[in-house]
Amino acid sequence: MTDQGAGKVGQRVSALPLLRLGWVFLKIGTTAFGGLGAALALIERELVDRRGVLTKEELTEALTFTKLLPGSTVVQVVSYLGYRLGGWTGSALATAAFVLPSAVGMTLLAVLYVAVNELPGVTGVLKGLAAAVVGLLVATTFRLGQANVKELLTLVIAGAAFAVAFFGVNAAVIVVVAGLLGVLSLSPPTARQEPQDGGGS
């Protein structure tokens, strides 16, 4: 069993072949208008609810880890999830498939910028999209919170992070401090007691 499992990210690799993985992220990249909030909602629907190859906890984990890194969070989340589902090949394929529609769209918009910018309905469309993205982000955050914020302390940490974010505190600082609080207060009791039990034997 060890030999069969070598080189794989997990049993989910067989549940979502590479071509299917690429197709899923190509579809998400094509329809994720509005950035992180919309993309997370679509990833949750496709990979958590519909196919069951990820859990809400794993999606939250991906967002948590990538918040520590500079650059586009949504692309990093896609790269991370692609790695979890298909190794390095899955990561490269998922990232390329997700970015491709945006790259093509931006190229077309760059060519047609003047004409598109002068259309009277463009401003209204953008405002409507922005409002919808805010709603999607709030709904996705609420569902992820239900799956991950279960203890009183995690609720306090989530509330504090929400509050300090309004004062311009860097997201990476918030994540690091929350992680340290989790290590100090939320580590499993057995993990902390193990050295003491071993010494007493």
Report yes or no on whether pTM surpasses 0.75.
no
CA 147 to chain CA centroid, nearest Å = 14
Which residues fall within 8 angstroms of residue 69, CB to CB, at 6 or more apart? 76
Sequential pLDDT tens for the chain (201 residues): 344 444 444 444 445 789 999 999 999 998 887 677 788 888 988 898 888 888 888 888 888 888 777 778 889 999 999 999 988 999 999 999 999 998 998 888 777 766 666 666 667 777 787 788 788 777 777 777 776 677 787 788 888 888 888 887 877 788 788 878 777 776 665 544 445 555 444
Helices (H), the chain: 2-5, 12-15, 18-31, 36-43, 56-66, 73-111, 113-117, 122-148, 152-165, 171-185, 189-200
CA 198 to chain CA centroid, nearest Å = 39
Which residues fall within 8 angstroms of residue 43, CB to CB, at 6 or more apart? 28, 54, 59, 77, 78, 81
Which residue type occupies 53? Answer: V
Burial of 190 (0-12, 13-18, 19+ CB in 10 A): exposed
Do 130 and 58 touch, CB atoms closer than 8 A?
A: no
The CA–CA distances, whole Å, from 32 to 42, 47, 199 equal 7, 14, 54
Domain residue ranges of the chain, discontinuous segments joined by + = 2-148, 150-188
